[in-house]
Structure 1
Amino acid sequence: MKMVYSNESLFLVNNIKNIIEAAGIVTFLKNEFTQGAVGEVSVFDCWPEIWVLENSDYEKALVVIANVQKLLSMDDWICNKCGEKNHASFEVCWQCQHEQA
């Protein structure tokens, strides 16, 4: 088992976990319920963590995470056809279905 992701937000960790599992990788969530121990234990030791069960899936999981983070850092775009603002993750305009140029 190897850890592939950790964050203070359980919401973000669960989101990444779901995306990794959608790629066919079996994961384990560690420290899911340790937030209440903050103060008794180091804050960083309480962050939820995603671990892959098979070491052979480690690199594949890191690629999946990198792709997610790349999408999150992209800028929104304006459709050349209708002028509508679209989220960076959209490849097609939600308003007119015109492809991103």
Structure 2
Amino acid sequence: MKRVDIAPNLVIATLWADALNAAGLRAEVFSRYLTSIAGEIPPDQCNPAVWVLDDGDLARAKQLLQELRTPLRGAFWTCPDCGERHGPQFAQCWKCGHSRPDSPSF
């Protein structure tokens, strides 16, 4: 078992662990509730950490988290059906449900 990274809060740690699990890596969040005792122990020791259960998955897990942290780049697009403008992260129009013409595979 290897620690991948320390998250700033439990929500982010859970998001990261869920993303790793969805990618086929077995990941867990440790130190979930230590923030409640910050001050009794050093605050920098209280943040939740994401760990992979298989040591061989560490490099891939770090790579996936880096990709998750990197903002999606690309061009804004306009829905051909309703004319609504969307950011590059959207593959479907929120207004009418039409798929992006050049929808990237996520």
TM-score (norm 1): 0.79
Measured at CA, do residues 88 and 13 of structure 1 come closer, stay the same or move farther in structure 2, by a change above 3 Å? farther
Partners in 1 of 2:23 and 2:54 — Cα distance?
14
Which amino acid counterpart does residue 72 of structure 2 have in structure 1?
A: M
Give the letter aligned to residue 64 of structure 1. L
Q: How does 1:47-58 map to 2 (within 5 A)?
A: 47-58=47-58
Q: What is aligned with 2:19? A: 19
Q: Is the counterpart of residue 79 in structure 1 residue 78 in structure 2?
A: yes
Report Cα offsets for 1:34-77 as digits up to 9, x if no partner.
0111111121100000011111000111121122112xx23672
What letter matches 1:97 in structure 2? S
Instruction: List gaps (5 residues or longer) in structure 1.
Output: none
Q: Structure 2: any 5+ residue segments left out of the alignment?
A: none
Partner of 1:39: 39
Q: Is the 8 A contact 1:26 1:53 kept in 2?
A: yes
Count of residue pairs brought into register by the alignment:
99
Q: C-alpha distance in 2, partners of 1:78/1:37? A: 47
More helix by share: 1
TM-score under structure 2 normalisation?
Answer: 0.76
Q: Retained in 1: the 8 A contact 2:77–2:88?
A: no
**Deviation at residue 83 of structure 1 after TM alignment:** 4.1
Equivalent AA in structure 1 for residue 14 of structure 2: N
How far, CA to CA, are the matches of 1:3 and 1:88 in structure 2? 32
Q: Runs of 4 or more off by more than 6 Å in structure 1?
A: none
Q: 1:42 to 1:85 in 2, by over 3 A?
A: farther
Of 87, 98, 101, which residue of structure 2 is paired with 1:99? 101
- CA RMSD in angstroms comes to 2.3
